[in-house]
């Protein structure tokens, strides 16, 4: 399988700070093609051999704004425990409708395909979120996600609002309130 040619913008690009616009239906062919390319890219980036050969950083989520397109769309492809299959999500016009009080953070630190440098610090995220969104066919959906998938959803929704994970890290105290959250 060939790695799709996708340009992922870096944190220095102002486009990442743009708030993405709602998508109307039906979705055009070019947008559907880009959704499929993004999912394929994410899957291949999680294959160690392909990632090394093609110089890809592993990623599990990608928002359209990261590709320079200010549409409220993101995709997630998360490798399952069997190491062969993926949990895939195509999320259009998402809205968080509820969230847990419990906060969690990624122990080794959150990462992003648009942040090409090491970042110390923790990002507080809700352990569980319920998200209302539309699928690729324009059908309204609702999903309750938890743990690492909940973090990915919140991370990608932030992208759609022009927010990067580094915005949550206090530069003077990057591990602030760590004791009030659970590490995953």
Domains and their CATH numbers in the chain = 14-183 (3.90.45.10)
pTM: 0.94
Query: Is 2 one of the catalytic residues?
Result: no
Q: Which residues, including other chains, have CB under 8 Å from residue 184's CB and lie 6 or more apart?
A: 104, 105, 106, 107, 147, 148, 151
Q: Is pLDDT above 80 for 70?
A: yes
pLDDT of 32 reads: 97
Q: Convert the pLDDT of each residue in 50-66 to its tens digit.
A: 999 998 999 999 999 99
Q: Is pLDDT above 90 for 2?
A: no
Radius of gyration of the chain measured on its C-alpha atoms: 16
pLDDT of 103 reads: 97
| pLDDT mean across residues, the chain | 95
The residue assigned the tokens 């609702």 is: 142
Catalytic residue among 53, 88, 102, 156: 156
Q: Convert the pLDDT of each residue in 71-117 to its tens digit.
A: 999 999 999 888 888 999 999 999 999 999 999 999 989 999 999 99
Residue 172: is it exposed, middle or buried by C-beta count within 10 angstroms (0-12/13-18/19+)? exposed
Residues 97 and 54: their CA atoms lie apart, in Å, by: 39
Q: Is pLDDT above 90 for 25?
A: yes
DSSP string, the chain: -PPP------TTSGGGGSPPBPP-SSPPHHHHHHHHHHHHHHHHHTSHHHHHHHT----SEEEGGGGT--BSEEEEEEE-TTSS-EEEEEEEEEEEEEE-S-EEE-TT----TT--S---S---EESEEEEEEE-TTS-EEEEEEEHHHHHHHHHHHHHHTT--GGGGS-TT-TTTTGGGSEE-
């Amino acid at each position: 399988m060939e790695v799709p040619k996708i340009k992922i913008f870096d944190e220095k690009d102002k486009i990442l700070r743009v708030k993405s616009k709602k998508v109307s239906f039906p979705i055009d062919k070019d947008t559907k093609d880009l959704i499929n390319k993004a999912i394929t890219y994410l899957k291949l980036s999680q294959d160690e051999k392909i990632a090394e050969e093609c110089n890809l950083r592993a990623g599990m989520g990608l928002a359209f704004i990261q590709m320079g397109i200010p549409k409220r769309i993101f995709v997630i492809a998360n490798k399952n425990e069997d190491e062969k299959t993926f949990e895939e999500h195509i999320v259009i016009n998402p809205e968080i409708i509820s969230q847990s009080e419990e906060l969690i953070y990624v122990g080794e630190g959150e990462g992003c395909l648009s942040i090409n440098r090491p970042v110390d610090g923790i990002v507080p995220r809700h352990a569980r979120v319920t998200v209302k969104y539309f699928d690729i066919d324009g059908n309204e959906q609702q999903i309750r996600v938890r743990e690492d998938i909940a973090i990915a959803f919140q991370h990608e929704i932030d992208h759609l609002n022009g927010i990067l994970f580094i915005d949550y890290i206090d530069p003077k105290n990057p591990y602030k309130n760590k004791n009030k959250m659970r590490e995953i």
